[in-house]
Amino acid sequence: MTSSSSSSVQQAREALGKRLREIRMDSGLTARALACRGGWHESKCSRIENGRTAASDDDLRVWALHCDAEEQLADLIATARNINGAYVEWRRMERSGLRRAQESVLPLWERTRNFRAYSSWLIPGPFQTRAYIEALLTAIRDRRALPDDLEAAVQVRVDKQRILYSGPHRFAVLLEESVLRHRIGGADTMAGQLGHLLSVATLPNVSLGVIPLTADRTVLWPVEDFWIFDEAQVNVELVSAFLTITQPHEIGMYARTFAELADLAVYGAPARVLITSAIDSLR
């Protein structure tokens, strides 16, 4: 684990420990008393509360039971599981090339029924043309000096798009209008991509909204790109890392943000006007 990700994990572990300390204190138990009830060594509570020892699912069940906080158990377990898997640097995920990173998300995509996606940077993966994918992955490969498995990585991403056309998958996608104007792969590639976007938007399982540049952003401005997979998790792509969020209250925050962004978007004919305008600008 790198120093940056290690630091992030440690900070998250300490935050969880502080929360557990507050739960214990609210219950009126001393650390020694809780350790006694849990059948632990008397120093275990201190090590967990100070982030020196990771709390297991069983530890959290004991903690919640004896501190009368069982209503918080699900969120505590989700938090603990999220700590070590939440923050993965791209260089760690892509150390053997881009194909493995593309394949790693396949099980999640196949089991998800309802996808919600917001993008202020790029056309989302399932809606991308092969040429657009090649341009993106080529730039990532070169920028991060990765092993060259570009052709295989492109094919994995293209093959993943089958979920658009089969099975009970539904997609609600929101794009900032600026995404339509970001030229990826040159004018011809971008024209083909925007034409494909018009086609995909007609699928019965797809809802495509575009947030106009003229929208009033006083209440909610553009935020980081994110995907919501059912109610199970949120994925966020950062500059340096891939973030996975599984805490229920955080998933709820992203769901509310998505709903607020959706209210700013236009759909159907008005969205098509924005897309065709972007195509015309390429000429």
Give 54's pLDDT tier (boundaries 50, 70, 90): confident
Give 86's pLDDT tier (boundaries 50, 70, 90): low
Contact 183, 148 (CB under 8 A): no
Q: How is residue 149 written in tokens? A: 């498995």
Between 42 and 48, the more confident residue is 48
Q: What is the pTM of this model?
A: 0.74
Longest Cα pair distance anywhere in the chain, in angstroms? 75
Q: Which residues pair with 241 in a beta bridge?
A: 89
Predicted confidence (pLDDT) per residue in 172-222, tens digit? 999 999 999 999 999 999 999 999 999 999 999 999 999 999 999 999 999
Between 9 and 5, the more confident residue is 9
Does 3-85 match 94-282 in CATH topology?
no
Poorest-confidence range of 36-40, 50-54, 158-162?
50-54
Residue 11 has pLDDT above 90, yes or no: no
Predicted confidence (pLDDT) per residue in 112-144, tens digit? 999 999 999 999 999 999 999 999 999 999 988
Whole-number average pLDDT of the chain:
91
* Domain residue ranges in the chain: 3-85, 94-282
Tell me which architecture the domain covering 94-282 has in CATH: 2-Layer Sandwich (3.30)
Give the whole-angstrom CA distance, residue 211 versus residue 45: 49
Cα–Cα–Cα angle for 100, 103, 107, nearest 5°? 145
Residue 85 has pLDDT above 50, yes or no: yes
Residue 271: its pLDDT value, please?
A: 98
Q: 3-85: what CATH class?
A: mainly alpha
Residue 26 has pLDDT above 60, yes or no: yes
Closest of 177, 259, 173, 257 to residue 211, by C-alpha:
177
Give the whole-angstrom CA distance, residue 13 versus residue 17: 6
Phi and psi, residue 208, nearest 5°: -115, 120
